[in-house]
Amino acid sequence: MATANPNHVLPAVAVIGAGIMGSAMTRNLVAAGLSTTVWDRSLAATSPLGEAGAVVAESAQAAIQDAEVVITMLPTADVVESVIFDAGVAEAFADGSVWAQMGTIGVDATLRIRDRLEASWPGVTFVDAPVSGSKQPAQQGQLLILASGPPAAAERLAPVFDVIGRKTVWLGEVGKGSQLKLIVNAYMSMLIEGVAEALDLADRLGIDHQQFEEAIEGGPLDAPIADAKFHKMDRGDFTAEFPLEWALKDVDLAISAARGDAPPLLAALSSQWHTAVAAGHGRQDISAARLALGPRRT
């Protein structure tokens, strides 16, 4: 195990996962002058990042071996554990490095991964830091970072988090970031389903979408995320910014984290979105929730 140097102002960073969010993070880190290595199972995902100035690693192990900060932005806990642990990649972590786990993988999985890391690699600091935001905020470096972990990690991660996020909220012990992320995404999901159902009702009643928009514009009901998804639904633009299947994953993680009886609205939402994903809308944007409600007015 190599040793990371915590005194660098701009740490060397490795990004594991080059999907919508990971690729945007990588581009912003490179543009800010940070030495950034990226790895993804898909060469098609990393090739453009190499052209943008990132170092494209041949393996996850090669990506992290000299990194002072390692970011994982992977879709599920199973993928995180497979990539980091199952192939011995964790052995390449530099002693003194910080692992920022930034995908939304749930509370139980986050704690399990922390414990697994601490048991075998105590010289690596684990930080639970999921992000709130989709494609455009990620591209603009405007993500909200919900971080939890050892207080000393905050200073180490600041040069990285300041580039990829508009704000970092530190919440205490590992797991708190994931808890708040599930709450935030549950709230967001209910807002977006609300927009979809309101537009469906408007279509059924023959109310023009523009009239609906004018009624709520500038008032207390005019939430920015709801407005953005309103316009995507109105245009019939379901290009993925935050895929519906990943939103559903987060809803189900929130239900699981709640313990006991599922919150009733989330339970109904989960059922509705499972139907939408089964109908083929999972890879489309979360705004495709509208498509599961019947035909749109054109």
Cβ contact 290:233 at 8 Å: yes
Give the list of residues 6+ apart from residue 45 with CB closer than 8 angstroms, or none.
18, 19, 23
Instruction: Compute the distance between CA of residue 31 and CA of residue 59 in angstroms, rounded to an integer.
Output: 23
C-alpha angle with apex 16: 283 to 121, nearest 5 degrees? 135
Chain center to CA of 156: 21
Rounded Cα gap, residues 36 and 110, in angstroms: 24
Structure tokens at 285: 């944007």
Question: How does strand 98-101 pair with strand 125-128?
Answer: parallel
- In angstroms, the CA 172 to CA 150 distance is 8
Active site residue: 135, 167, 176, 181, which one? 181
Instruction: Quickly tell me which residue has 């189900």 as its tokens.
Output: 252
181 labelled catalytic: yes
Which candidate, 211, 209, 191, places its Cα nearest to that of 199? 209
Tokens 């405007």 correspond to 142
Distance (Å, rounded) from C-alpha 240 to C-alpha 160?
26
Rounded-to-integer distance, Cα 176 and Cα 201, Å: 38
Active site residues: 181
